[in-house]
Amino acid sequence: MATPDPLPLAQDLLRCASVTPADAGAQDILAEALAALGFTVTRLPFNGIANLYARIGDRAPHLCFAGHTDVVPPGAGWSADPFAGTVADGRLIGRGACDMKGAIAAWVAACEAHLQAGPPRGSLSLLITGDEEGVATDGTTRVVDWLADRHEIPDFCLVGEPTNPARLGEVIKIGRRGSLNARIVVHGTQGHVAYPHLADNPVHRLLAALAELTAEPLDTGTDWFEPSSLQVVGIDVDNPAMNVIPAQARAALNIRFNDRHTGAGLAAHIHEVLARHADRAELDIAISGEPFLTAPGPAVDRLRAAITQATGITPRLDTGGGTSDARFIARLCPVAEFGLVGATMHKTDEAVPVAELRALADAYRAVIAAFLP
C-alpha cells in the first residue's frame, strides 16, 4: 500500500505564519490531524509558547518524533508568498518547507501508513514545540521535563531537522556540539600614555588573557566530533584618543565544544586564565547547549538500515552544525536526527521538491517499521 501523501498537511502547516513565538494555528491543524489518526493529544503551552505531545499506543517499544512548528522570519525577495503553500515546478515553496513543517507532515503520513495495518505495534509519539528557532526556553526543554516527571520515557527519539546536504539519505546526526558564549570586561586605571606607571592598561591584560586562551587547541577531536573551537568574536575599547590609556576593555568569545568538555568546565578554565592576567575583571558566561552523542549501536544501526532501505543511500553518521533541540531530548532518551535536504533552510525561497517530501514519508515509514516490527 502506498504511503499517504504528506503534501496537503505540509501545505496547511505552511499557510500558518508561525514565526517564533507566534503559532498562528499551526498546532491546531497538527492536533486535528493526529486526533483523526487516534492519537491522544495534550497541548502544553508554556509562557504563551504552543507545544504539544501526542501519543498512540501504551506498550513498548516507544518511538518518539520531535520537531517544531515555528519558523524564522521570511525576509524579503521571495518569488512566491512564503505563507501560501505554493507548489511550482514540482517544488513546495514556503518558510518552513524543509525546516521543518515538511518533515512533520512526512512523519504524520508515515504514522498513518503504519496504522493502516491496525493498532501500533508499540507506541508512537510526537513532541512538537513552537519555540525552537527562538530562545527555546519554553519549548522542548519544558516538555522533556513534563515527560520525565510522568516517567514517560521513549526508547528512542528521532528529530526531523533537515540533516542532508544535497540528497535525501546522506546524513544522520547522532550528536551535536555544545555552545558557550562569554563576555569579558577588564577594568584598568585610566591615565596618560606618557606616564604608564600611573595607570593600569586593561587592553594589555585583556590581550594577554585572550592570547593564552587561543594559544593551544582545546582538544584534538574524538572519533565522532571535530576538535572544539574557541573563537574570539569581538574586542572593543572605544577609545578615540591616542594619548589616553583607557579605563576598560571588553571582548566576546564563543566556544563550540565536543563531549570531551562540559560548559561548566570551560567556564572555569576561562575564569582561571582571566584571573591570572586581570585581577579586576567581569566574566559573563551563557551556555546555550551541552554536547551530546548517541553512541552508534543497535538503535542507530536500525535507523540507518531503514533509511538505506528506503532511499538506496547509506547515511553517514555526523555531529556537525549548530545546536538543535535534540540537546534537550538527550536528557530523556537516545536521540538522532534525520530530515529533508537543508540547502534552502532559513533562506529566501525555502523549498522542498514534492518528490523528496514523499520520499521522506517513505523513509519515515521504514523507520517506524524497523522500530515497531
Residue 105 is classified by DSSP as H
> Regarding beta strands 351-353 and 91-93, do their DSSP bridges make them parallel or antiparallel, or are they unpaired?
antiparallel
Q: Is the peptide bond before 82 cis (omega within 30 degrees of 0)?
A: no
Task: Kindly give, in sequence order, each residue whose CB lies less than 8 Å from that of residue 248, ignoring residues fewer than 6 positions away.
Answer: 185, 186, 187, 188, 202, 237
Nearest to 50 by CA among 26, 76, 34: 26
Quote the least distance from Cβ 133 to Zn ion, whole Å. 7
Quote the least distance from Cβ 61 to Zn ion, whole Å. 26
The question of whether 70 is a catalytic residue gets the answer yes
251 binds Zn ion (CB under 5 A): no
Task: State the DSSP string of 217-256.
Answer: -S----SSSPPPEEEEEEEE-----SSEE-SEEEEEEEEE
From the list 31-39, 91-99, 135-143, 284-292, the region that binds Zn ion by CB under 5 A is: 91-99
Q: Is the peptide bond before 100 cis (omega within 30 degrees of 0)?
A: yes
CA dist 42 → 25, 45, 120 (Å): 15, 10, 19
Q: Which three cell numbers stand for residue 241?
A: 584618543
The question of whether 132 is a catalytic residue gets the answer yes
97 binds Zn ion (CB under 5 A): no
From the list 18-26, 97-105, 263-271, 336-344, the region that binds Zn ion by CB under 5 A is: 97-105
Would you say 67 or 188 has its CB closer to Zn ion?
Answer: 67
Quote the least distance from Cβ 93 to Zn ion, whole Å. 17
From the list 153-161, 189-197, 219-227, 314-322, the region that binds Zn ion by CB under 5 A is: 153-161
Residue tagged active-site, from 23, 99, 131, 132? 132
Of the residues 9, 19, 71, 100, which one makes contact with Zn ion according to CB under 5 A: 100
99 binds Zn ion (CB under 5 A): yes
Would you say 105 or 278 has its CB closer to Zn ion?
Answer: 105
Quote the least distance from Cβ 265 to Zn ion, whole Å. 28
Would you say 98 or 249 has its CB closer to Zn ion?
Answer: 98
Quote the least distance from Cβ 46 to Zn ion, whole Å. 19
Residue 112 · residue 4 · CB < 8 Å: yes
Q: Of 322-341, which residues contact Zn ion (CB under 5 A)?
A: none
Q: Cell 518524533 sits at which residue?
A: 65
Q: Which residues bind Zn ion (CB under 5 A)?
A: 99-100, 161
